[in-house]
């Protein structure tokens, strides 16, 4: 089975490559061989790949910078997925498109269901919501929303916090982290397993919903996540000492883009239909820390 992976050099793309099943052949697609602003090139690349499935893990994820670079954000997060979906529709393949909890405004106090009304707060969320809309207009396309994605590769909250714990503890300075934004950290390994489960199910002609939610189990604030990263980082020997983590309110940490205060995703339908187990985010965090350790984190 052949998979065209768009965004192959990103943190999710790298994990998908690392965890691919033996019967899968991956055609890697990254910035070096496809320009997501060139819609004609996207079409030609997809048609020539002859892939059974296309996974689009590419995205413009700079939430704050998107407020200044809205045209670029929409190009990558909306227009490119639209072109990808239209190209895939010309083949007999299916598209799996990765989206985000930021399509919601965070005003609920219970987990968001896949069919809940989207109301993004900033350009990043709005561009991703538009991308979803384009992808879901066509048959055989699937959107997977996830939250607070991190792994052992690239730029993400986990690796950033590990470095800050190391720096701040040496300087005897506290680490101030927002405590009133609630969600679920999700490891790239967990999301990769879920993507491979979708492909396995579809290849066996199983009918699944076109819009799915997936995150790791449990609830956390960014403060909780940062605290756990320090604690487990010491436990795994990645850092010698964790910095003191001080909870602060969002109002004390002004950013150009508004974030949802509550963006927990209801994954019950995904776990029931695909029979995929959710593990607590701390369990998944420990696994990612082990992978980071193998890379000799410094």
Q: What is the pLDDT, as a whole number, of residue 14?
A: 95
Query: Percent of the chain, pLDDT > 90?
Result: 82
Domain count, the chain: 1
pLDDT tops 70 at residue 298: no
Q: What is the pLDDT, as a whole number, of residue 92?
A: 83
> Domain with 70 in it: what CATH number?
3.40.50.720
Catalytic residue among 124, 142, 189, 262: 124
Task: Name the pLDDT band for 172 (thresholds 50, 70, 90).
Answer: very high
Measured CA to CA, the distance from residue 269 to residue 213 in angstroms comes to 8
* For residues 222-245, average pLDDT: 96
Note the pLDDT tens digit of each residue in 239-252. Answer: 999 999 999 999 88
Mean pLDDT of the chain: 93
Task: Name the pLDDT band for 33 (thresholds 50, 70, 90).
Answer: confident
User: In the 3-class helix/strand/coil scheme, how is the chain assigned residue by residue?
Assistant: CEEEEECCCCHHHHHHHHCCCCCCEEEEECCCCCCCCCHHHHHHHHHHHCCCEEEECCCCCCCCHHHCCHHHHHHHHHHHHHHHHHHHHCCCCEEEEEEEHHHCCCCCCCCECCCCCCCCCCHHHHHHHHHHHHHHCCCCEEEEEECCEECCCCCCHHHHHHHHHHHHHHHCCCEEEECCCEECCEEHHHHHHHHHHHHHHHHCCCCCCCEEECCCECCEEHHHHHHHHHHHHHHCCCCCCCCCEEEECHHHCCCCCCCCCECCECCHHHHHHHCCCCCEHHHHHHHHHHHHHHCCCC
Note the pLDDT tens digit of each residue in 195-225. Answer: 999 999 999 989 999 999 999 999 999 999 9
pLDDT tops 90 at residue 46: no
Task: Determine the structural domain holding residue 59 and report its residue range.
Answer: 2-294
Q: Catalytic: 124?
A: yes
Sign of CA dihedral 266, 278, 139, 78: positive
Q: What are phi and psi of 246, to 5 degrees?
A: -110, 125
Q: What is the pLDDT, as a whole number, of residue 238?
A: 94
pLDDT tops 90 at residue 114: yes
Q: What is the pLDDT, as a whole number, of residue 254?
A: 84
Measured CA to CA, the distance from residue 100 to residue 257 in angstroms comes to 15
């Amino acid at each position: 089975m052949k998979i065209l992976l768009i965004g192959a050099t990103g943190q999710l793309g790298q994990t998908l490559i690392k965890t691919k099943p033996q019967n899968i052949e991956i055609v890697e697609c990254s910035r070096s061989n496809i320009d997501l602003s060139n819609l004609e090139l996207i079409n030609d690349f997809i048609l020539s790949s002859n892939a059974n499935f296309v996974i689009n893990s590419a995205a413009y994820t700079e939430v704050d910078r998107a407020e200044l670079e809205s045209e670029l954000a929409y190009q990558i997060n909306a227009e490119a997925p639209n072109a990808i979906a239209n190209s895939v529709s010309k083949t007999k393949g299916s598209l799996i498109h990765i989206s985000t909890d930021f399509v919601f405004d965070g005003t609920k106090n219970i987990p968001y269901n896949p069919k809940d009304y989207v109301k993004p707060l900033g350009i990043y969320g709005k561009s991703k919501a538009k991308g979803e809309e384009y992808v879901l207009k066509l048959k055989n396309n699937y959107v997977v929303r996830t939250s607070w994605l991190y792994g052992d590769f690239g730029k993400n909250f986990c690796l950033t916090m590990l470095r800050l714990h190391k720096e701040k503890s040496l300087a005897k300075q506290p680490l101030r982290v927002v405590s009133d934004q609630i969600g679920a950290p999700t490891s790239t390994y967990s999301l990769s397993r879920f993507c491979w489960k979708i492909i396995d199910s579809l290849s066996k002609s199983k009918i699944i919903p076109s819009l799915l939610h997936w995150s790791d189990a449990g609830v956390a604030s960014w403060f909780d996540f940062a605290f756990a990263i320090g604690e487990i980082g010491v436990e795994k020997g990645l850092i010698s000492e964790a910095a003191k983590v001080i909870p602060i309110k969002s109002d004390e940490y002004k950013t150009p883009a508004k974030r949802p205060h509550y963006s927990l995703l209801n994954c019950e339908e995904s776990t029931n239909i695909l029979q995929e187990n959710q593990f607590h985010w701390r369990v998944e965090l420990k696994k990612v820390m082990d992978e980071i350790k193998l890379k000799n984190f410094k």
